[in-house]
Structure 1
Amino acid sequence: MAHLLFICSKNQWRSPTAEGLFKNQQLHQARSAGTSDKARIKVSQKLLDWADEVFVMERRHRQLLQQRFALHKPVTVLDIEDDYQFNDPELIALLQAALQEYLQ
């Protein structure tokens, strides 16, 4: 089972929506976190070490991770701006398109 970590800023809308796509999936386990001090769940070295693959919503999230943590794996930028609410159908469609190889 692969561990997928999704990261946005405050861990309120984008990354929890991505995590939810994998809720009942047996091939992958997903978690989410945020880079902000105000994040619901803050990204940590422990979470990064847990993950087999790390996905961030914006390039700046990858930059923050590179500055703050020891990254020993690639980080995929999904290029999804902070324009969506939690479980917004358009956000779900963007995530499904970007993550289709993992959602099979």
Structure 2
Amino acid sequence: MKILFVCSRNKWRSATAETIYKNHSEHQVRSAGTEPSARIKLNAKHVIWADLIFVMEKKHEQRIEEKFSEEIVDKKIVIMNIPDEYQYMDKELIEELNLKTHDHL
């Protein structure tokens, strides 16, 4: 399965998710951000590529729906409700990511 993790700037939350899941044998994983200043800026190719999209907050889902309405047809988007209060590879962030993705992977 091709999994895309999305947050605002692709520096902490989605980048951490990509790092912890990238070596999973059953999944291909990428991450991106919705903001113009994102390390990797979300684009249509990311959305088309993904089978499953995890977003950190509702606002990320809304931005995807606004910018990529055609590309998200038949895509599953999961809102994880993980606030922007963690650093990259923060232990609590990793625990949250594992908890919120468990039922979907």
Q: What is the RMSD computed on CA atoms of the aligned residues?
A: 0.8
Q: How many residues align structurally?
A: 101
Code of the aligned partner of 1:24: N
In the alignment, the residues of structure 2 paired with residue 34 and residue 100 of structure 1 have an alpha-carbon distance, to the nearest angstrom, of 22
2:78 to 49, 64, 76: 76
1:21 is paired with a residue of what secondary structure?
Answer: helix
**Counterpart position of 2:60:** 61
User: Does the 8 A contact of 2:8 with 2:35 survive in 1?
Assistant: yes
Instruction: List aligned pairs for 1:1-104, cutoff 5 A.
Output: 2-69=1-68, 70=70, 71-72=72-73, 73-101=75-103, 102=105
Code of the aligned partner of 2:7: C
State the TM-score, normalizing by the size of structure 2. 0.93
In the alignment, the residues of structure 1 paired with residue 42 and residue 57 of structure 2 have an alpha-carbon distance, to the nearest angstrom, of 15
Task: Provide structure 2 residue ranges, at least 5 long, that are not aligned to the other structure.
Answer: none
Task: Provide structure 1 residue ranges, at least 5 long, that are not aligned to the other structure.
Answer: none
In the alignment, the residues of structure 2 paired with residue 66 and residue 74 of structure 1 have an alpha-carbon distance, to the nearest angstrom, of 12
Q: Identity of aligned pairs, percent?
A: 45
State the TM-score, normalizing by the size of structure 1. 0.93
User: Does the 8 A contact of 2:51 with 2:76 survive in 1?
Assistant: no
In the alignment, the residues of structure 1 paired with residue 5 and residue 17 of structure 2 have an alpha-carbon distance, to the nearest angstrom, of 7
